[in-house]
Structure 1
Amino acid sequence: GAAGDAARAAAAYEELLPDLARVLGPDHPDTLAARSNLSGWQGAAGDAARAAAAYEELLPDLARVLGPDHPDTLAARGNFVHWRGEADSANAAAEHTRLLDDLVRVLGPDHL
């Protein structure tokens, strides 16, 4: 992906995920991170709707395993909001506002 082939990066993560889930388990942080990476590369490959849907599916698992205020959960919410905005800008504004409120609550108003 970093070399400019987002579609192949997404395909590689799709291929890797079943093995991660089988070996480490579906709730292992590395499996969850791979799901997040897959979602991001799907969006970067031009499928914003698929990326948003994948992040939306991932978010409850991250919140359950890591907690709703964990940095990885908040980052995934940010990525979800980004791809939701790319796919459906009309419905992304409210999600942006909720995320910003949570970021300020968790990190403080002066966090960079």
Structure 2
Amino acid sequence: ALPLYERSLAIREQALGKDHPEVATSLNNLAVLYESMGEYAKALTLYERSLAINEKVLGKNHPNTKITRENYERALQKLE
């Protein structure tokens, strides 16, 4: 699954630009996968990037932003 998620991210970044909400979705999905693999540091980096895009483009109260923030906080707790 990892190569497919990475490819999806690369395609979206190329087609839509690095600050597009769909790129944020791909980042979040890839982060969820890394988190499920126990790779919390990698997941946190991707969640942070996704969260930054979502907050900038969609706002802090958008449902996608809230989901990413919750995912980030969950992964952060696992790392501590």
| TM-score between the two structures when normalised by the length of structure 1 | 0.65
Cα displacement (A) at 1:18: 1.4
TM-score, normalised by the number of residues in structure 2: 0.87
Greater Cα radius of gyration, structure 1 or 2: 1
RMSD (Å), alpha carbons = 1.3
Residue 58 of structure 1: how far off its partner (Å): 2.0
* Ranges in structure 2 where 5+ consecutive residues have no aligned partner: none
State the Cα deviation string for residues 41-97 of structure 1 (Å, max 9, x = none).
Answer: 011112112112221222111100110110100110000000001111xxxxxxxxx
Determine if the alignment matches structure 1 residue 73 to structure 2 residue 76: no
- Partners of 2:13 and 2:54 lie apart in 1 by 14
1:87 — aligned with what? 79
The 1-side partners of 2:48 and 2:27 are apart by 11
Distance 1:32 1:57, change over 3 A: closer
Structure 1: runs of 5 or more not aligned: 1-8, 89-112
For residues 14-33 of structure 1, the aligned pairs below 5 Å read 14-33=6-25
Aligned length: 80
